[in-house]
């Protein structure tokens, strides 16, 4: 790859040294590898140089800023020159407040994740939100935005094409038009919006060149693209969402293989590809989750058909209303015979901050965490907040507080995660010592042994706290899910694919559950993660990926499949 300093000197604002030092690390296998080198140079340059780079940037619509030609074009392309007087005032105020709080100018890649420009409203909303960020996190976010600006400038200079990444991104936008609620993205099992998504996906799969496309008895959209042999690679992810969710969670794992098939234009590979858009994973409408992948593994529970949604509609009725048979016989037929498949792979947005913080576009999943969940209750003695001396209290809330800090310390020590997400004082009062607390425990680890160690330590600690404080407790297990370690051979295939892109390997466990966790029961599986922007926030409308990262997913998937 032939990259010349004189063409690339403007990638980083007034800071050609970054490109110069990065180029010295060449030659590069890919643009992604060069971008990675730039990020490493800046990482190694230290805080002062990083701050200098941030300060070399102009304010958005700054009055006194001396803009480079690149910045001028980007800001005017985002329509920042056409601000209304009110928007102009708002931006000036934000610039002032931001600078007063952080001591550097606000940096945002105004061309956005697709490269076509954010709206002024999006820019102002992002500005308002980031004004309240933690200073260290905001500093890091500014550097990430600077790398994104450089990525877009580089693409322009070298005429980079990322057609499949853009297609993937556009599919995500277009599918998000269908929602149960107009103001949010919410697509729950078998609602009209959900059925519209299935029809839309089926239509796109046909256009992309799949040989057969069907909607099965559970509502999955299944696209098959034959290979020259008779073995298949199984892939896919879910298209339902949580309430007020993001556009990429699950869906990306459907779009990426679709884009790969589309790019083949009918060319055949030795192994066929079966892509499943899973109808249900999130457990929003009915208490049961992973309905769709459970059907594939033969683990669909007959009792689920009788579950009711909040309107009292049984799952079976919802299926019949959607034109599906709604019988256990039809669902049982969906179980796959592992003999026909080499394995299962899934591409998914990380849904966490790890890759974004590490400036890594792709991550190799080592294991899907196993978990223990409990609902608990601590019972002490409610008493007068004014008259009960501190040493004579039996305060249930303090016990949970103590437990929460222990969960934190122990999870850190064991390299896993633990959360008390619910903690409430029923009928609490401002002047009453809490006599009872309802709380939850969510403990997760990449392997079952560590998960159980954490559980045992937390339970023992809880007993100790109760004894010392004179409390009672109840703990009711609600979930015990085994970890699903990636199959070593399939993990290596993802690693080889990422290496072919010229990117370093970043391995991480998945803290969230995924369809691959279910398929794990019948097939070897491994997942690829892509970073989410906005510090990886997910199950939230702020969930975002760039078209560039989507392209890397498509390329990695392509490499993995072609190598089989």
Residues that bind Zn ion (CB under 5 A): 249-250
* Rounded Cα–Cα distance for residues 234 and 254 (Å): 11
Helix count (H) and strand count (E) of the chain?
21, 16
- Cβ closer to Zn ion: 123 or 354? 354
Q: Which residue's CB atom is positioned nearest to Zn ion? A: 250
Q: Let me know: does 188 contact 287? Beta carbons within 8 Å.
A: no
**Residue 187 beta carbon to Zn ion: minimum distance, rounded to whole angstroms:** 12
What's the min distance (Å) between Cβ of 290 and Zn ion? 11
> How far is it, in rounded angstroms, from Cα 252 to Cα 271?
22
Nearer to Zn ion, 250 or 536 (CB): 250
Give 399 or 516: the residue with its C-beta nearer to Zn ion. Answer: 516
Q: Smallest distance, Å, CB 354 to Zn ion? A: 16
526, 515 contact by CB (below 8 A):
no
CB of 412 to Zn ion, least distance (A): 26
Nearer to Zn ion, 106 or 171 (CB): 171
CB 544, min distance to Zn ion, A: 15
Q: Closest approach of Cβ 238 to Zn ion, in Å?
A: 6
14 or 373: CB nearest Zn ion: 373
The strand pair at 370-379 and 472-481 is best described as antiparallel
Q: Based on CB atoms, which residue is closest to Zn ion, 249 or 555?
A: 249
Is 98:106 a contact under the CB 8 Å cutoff?
A: yes
- Cα–Cα distance for residue pair 463/376, rounded to 1 Å: 12
CB of residue 220 to Zn ion, shortest distance in Å: 15
Burial status of residue 68 (CB atoms within 10 A of its CB: 0-12, 13-18, 19 or more): middle
Closest approach of Zn ion to the CB of residue 539, in Å: 9
H helices present in 192-248, as ranges = 192-208
Tokens of 461: 């600690």
Distance of alpha carbon 318 from alpha carbon 422, whole angstroms: 31
Which is nearer to Zn ion, 41 or 242 (by Cβ)? 242
What HEC string does 47-94 produce? HHHHHHHHHCCCCCCCCCCCCCHHHHHHHHHCCHHHCCHHHHHHHHHH
Nearest one of 267, 272, 31 to 165, comparing CA atoms: 31
Of residues 248 and 490, the one with the C-beta less far from Zn ion: 248
Q: What is the DSSP string of 469-483?
A: HT-EEEEEEEEEE--
- Output the smallest distance, CB 366 to Zn ion, in A: 18
Among residues 249 and 549, whose Cβ is nearest to Zn ion? 249
Instruction: Kindly state the DSSP code that residue 539 receives in the 8-state scheme.
Output: S
Of 6, 145, 12, nearest to 70 by C-alpha is: 12
């Amino acid at each position: 790859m032939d990259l010349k300093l004189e063409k690339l000197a403007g990638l980083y604002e007034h800071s050609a040294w970054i490109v110069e030092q990065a180029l010295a690390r060449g030659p590069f296998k890919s643009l992604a590898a060069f971008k990675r080198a730039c990020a490493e140079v800046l990482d190694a340059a230290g805080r002062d140089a990083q701050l200098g780079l941030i300060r070399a940037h102009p304010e958005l619509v700054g009055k006194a800023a001396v803009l480079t030609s690149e910045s001028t074009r980007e800001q005017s392309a985002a329509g920042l020159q056409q601000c209304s007087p009110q928007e102009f005032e708002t931006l000036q105020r934000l610039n002032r407040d931001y600078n007063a709080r952080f001591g550097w100018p606000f940096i945002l890649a105004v061309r956005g994740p697709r490269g076509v420009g954010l709206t002024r409203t999006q820019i102002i909303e992002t500005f308002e939100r980031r004004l309240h960020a933690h200073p260290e996190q905001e500093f890091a976010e500014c550097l990430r935005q600077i790398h994104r600006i450089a990525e877009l400038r580089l693409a322009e200079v070298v005429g980079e094409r990322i057609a499949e990444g853009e297609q993937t991104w556009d599919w995500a936008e277009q599918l998000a038009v269908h929602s149960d609620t107009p103001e949010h993205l919410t697509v729950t099992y078998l609602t009209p919006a959900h059925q519209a998504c299935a029809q839309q996906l089926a239509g796109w799969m046909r256009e992309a060149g799949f040989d057969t496309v069907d909607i099965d008895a559970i509502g999955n959209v299944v696209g098959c693209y034959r290979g020259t042999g008779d073995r298949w690679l199984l892939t896919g992810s879910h298209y339902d969402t949580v309430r007020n969710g993001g556009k990429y969670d699950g869906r990306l794992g459907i779009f990426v293989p679709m884009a790969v098939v589309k790019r083949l234009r009918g060319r055949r590979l030795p192994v066929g590809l079966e892509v499943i858009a899973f109808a249900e994973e999130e457990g929003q409408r009915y208490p049961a989750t992973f309905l769709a992948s459970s059907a594939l593994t033969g683990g669909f529970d007959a009792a689920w058909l009788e579950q009711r949604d909040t309107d009292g509609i049984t799952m079976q009725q919802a299926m019949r209303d959607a034109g599906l048979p709604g019988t256990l016989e039809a669902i049982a037929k969906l179980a796959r015979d592992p003999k026909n498949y080499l394995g299962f792979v899934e591409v998914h947005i990380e849904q966490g901050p790890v890759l974004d913080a590490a400036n890594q576009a792709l991550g190799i999943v080592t294991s899907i965490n196993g978990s223990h969940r409990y609902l608990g209750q601590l019972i002490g003695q409610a008493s007068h907040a004014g008259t009960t001396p501190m040493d004579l209290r039996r305060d249930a809330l303090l016990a949970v507080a103590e437990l929460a800090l222990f969960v934190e310390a122990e999870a850190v020590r064991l390299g896993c995660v633990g959360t008390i997400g619910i903690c409430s004082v029923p009928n609490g009062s401002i002047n009453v010592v809490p006599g009872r607390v309802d709380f939850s425990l969510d403990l997760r680890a990449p392997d079952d042994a560590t998960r159980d160690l954490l559980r045992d330590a937390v339970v023992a600690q809880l007993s100790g706290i109760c004894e010392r404080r004179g409390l009672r407790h109840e703990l009711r297990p609600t979930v015990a899910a085994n970890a699903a370690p990636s199959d070593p051979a399939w993990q290596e295939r993802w690693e080889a694919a990422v290496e072919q892109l010229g990117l370093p390997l970043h391995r991480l466990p998945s803290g969230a559950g995924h369809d691959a966790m279910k398929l794990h029961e019948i097939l070897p599986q491994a997942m690829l993660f892509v970073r989410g922007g906005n510090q990886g926030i997910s199950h939230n409308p702020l969930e975002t990926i760039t078209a560039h990262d989507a392209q890397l997913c498509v390329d990695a998937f392509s490499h993995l499949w072609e190598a089989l």
